[in-house]
Amino acid sequence: MVLSTLLLLSLGLLTAQAQECSRPVGGPNMGLSDKDILLQTFPDGHRASFRCDVGYTPAGGSAVITCTAGSWSPVRLTCERKNCGSVGPLLNGQVDYPNGPLFGEKAVITCNEGYILVGQREINCGDQGWLERLPECEVLKCDPPADITDGKFSPNKESYEYSEVVQYSCVNDYTLNGSKSLSCSTDGKFTPDPPTCTRVECTDPKIENGTWKEGARPPYRYKSAVTLQCNSGYIMKGASIQTCDINSLWSPGLPQCTPVKCTDPKIKNGDRKEGSQPPYRYSSTVTLECHSGYIMKGASTQKCDINGLWSPGLPECKLVECTDPKIENGDLMEGSQPLYRHLSKVTLQCRSGYIMEGASTQTCDINGLWSPGLPECKSVECKEPTINNGVLKKTSQAPYKYSSTVTFECDAGYSIKGSPTQTCGSDGQWSPGLPECASRAGDVGKYVGITFAVLVVIAGVFLCCIYKKKRSRKTDKEAPKPGEDVALS
């Protein structure tokens, strides 16, 4: 060892004196201990000590560091704030720790409602614990409330605790004006303010054009109630029920009776026809009418009622419209198209095989009805077909509807004249027309007469020809020969 040291010295590699350490820096919330606090340099191998600041306590790690060749070993010590813990239980109050029960912080004391704080509101956490005593919360008390004229309160005591209640009352015919009950409040006083005792009497509730109807009778004391009414033809503005209030006034205030007046009875698409003139007072009566083409829905005569309203209620004038003019087994032939307004005209026709009963032309009247009234289309029927000296040979079954056919046959000795087959036409008549059955003997006589006439004519023609021939021959004999003179007569 000695040889090694000598060797190093000879080589100049070992200093002649060991290096010192400068003043060490500790961690947060700590400082050098008393024995080291005044030193500025520390010899090699010196052991320095740290301690926690006031209000802090060691939380682990060594408090000692060592100077070696001019450098300090690491500081291992940690310091944390001291905890004062709970300040203790507080009767009728609460303790709050806004930032925790730590060194330098405060505990805040609050008393419950109705209790008053005796002591400091805030106490501080110090190095050795809480620095002040925990205060107390004492129950709040009130002095007796004020006396009132013509009244009293109970119970009557020297002092009252928080929330204790007293009741006021008046004597004789006086009425309590204000709160009946007062209570000991948080400021050590009774609230609300004490009431007063007042003598209440309202005057007779007279109103112009009105009268008392029912309720209390004089004298009218506090809370006496009456019901008023207006005379006929007047309407009330205000409340009919009135109550005598604490100020000897009728509440909510005497009403007024004003004359009933109805507004102008105007209706859309209509006018006033006759009746009362404005202003329209109670019982005024008017009659209303609608413009042409409109129909009235409601009563035309209106009366101004006690409430200033038209009774039974203003009517409406609605546009006249007739329904679609449909008839069974018939159709619209011509006329207006929907909508069918007042005075619209239509013409109806029945379908084939039906005949119309009623007017084919209809007009939409002022009441929204077809006038003179929609017709009916009834099935065509022909009467039972009969002919003299003949019978039906084959036929449709009765009743004989449109297009039914029948065939006739004449009795023996008769022949048919006309069509033997007949059809029931759309007019209810047999077509082409019922035939006739004529006697065959009459036909022979007619034929003989015709033949005889023909023969007479032929005979006459023949005789005429013979006569003309004879005449011609005689004329030839009497004619003069050539060269003979003809005597003139």
* CATH 2.10.70.10, the chain: domain bounds: 19-81, 93-139, 141-199, 210-259, 261-319, 321-379, 384-442
pLDDT digits (tens, 9 = 90+) for 69-88: 999 999 999 999 999 999 99
Which SS3 state, helix, strand or coil, does residue 39 take?
A: coil
Position 44 pLDDT exceeds 80:
yes
The fourth-level CATH superfamily of domain 321-379 is Complement Module, domain 1 (2.10.70.10)
pLDDT at res. 166: 97
User: What CATH code is assigned to 19-81?
Assistant: 2.10.70.10
Q: Indicate the fold that domain 210-259 takes in CATH.
A: Complement Module; domain 1 (2.10.70)
State yes or no: cis peptide before 145, omega within 30 of 0: no
- In percent, the amount of the chain with pLDDT more than 90 equals 75
In degrees rounded to 5, what are phi and psi of residue 338? -55, 145
% of the chain surpassing 70 pLDDT: 87
Token pair 């005379």 is at which residue?
231
Residue 470 has pLDDT above 90, yes or no: no
Residue 487 has pLDDT above 70, yes or no: no
H or E element at residue 230: strand 225-230
Structure confidence by residue, pLDDT tens digits, 299-308: 999 999 988 9
pLDDT in tens, 195-253: 999 999 999 999 999 999 999 999 999 999 999 999 999 999 999 999 999 999 999 99
Supply angle C-alpha 242, 245, 246, rounded to 5: 175
Which residue did the predictor score with more confidence, 456 or 156? 156
pLDDT at 299: 96
**For residue 451, what pLDDT is reported?**
52
Confidence band (pLDDT; 50, 70, 90) for 427? Answer: confident
* Each residue's pLDDT tens digit, 272-289: 999 999 999 999 999 999
- Confidence (pLDDT) at 300: 96
What is the structure's pLDDT at 7? 38
Compute CA distances 217 → 172, 201, 205, 221, 226, whole Å. 20, 12, 10, 10, 8
The DSSP code for 481 is P
**Residues 24-36: tens digit of each pLDDT:** 999 999 999 988 9
Exposure on the CB side of residue 473, measured as CA atoms within 13 A: 5
pLDDT at 60: 93
Q: Which CATH superfamily is domain 93-139 in?
A: Complement Module, domain 1 (2.10.70.10)
Longest Cα separation, the chain: 236
Give the residue with greater pLDDT, 449 vs 331: 331
- Mean per-residue pLDDT of the chain: 87
Position 469 scores a pLDDT of 62
Q: Which CATH architecture has domain 384-442?
A: Ribbon (2.10)
* pLDDT one-digit tens code per residue, 45-61: 999 999 999 999 999 99
Quick one: pLDDT at residue 392? 87
pLDDT tens by residue, 166-188? 999 999 889 999 999 999 998 89
Confidence class for position 13, pLDDT limits 50, 70, 90? very low
pLDDT for 484: 39
Using pLDDT thresholds of 50, 70 and 90, give the confidence band for residue 489: very low
CA dist list (Å): 246 to 142, 166, 228, 299 = 30, 22, 20, 51
How high is the pLDDT of residue 399? Answer: 86
Q: What architecture does CATH give domain 141-199?
A: Ribbon (2.10)
Q: What does the pLDDT read at residue 81?
A: 95
The verdict on domain 261-319 having CATH code 3.30.160.110 is: no
> What confidence tier does 475 reach under pLDDT thresholds 50, 70, 90?
very low
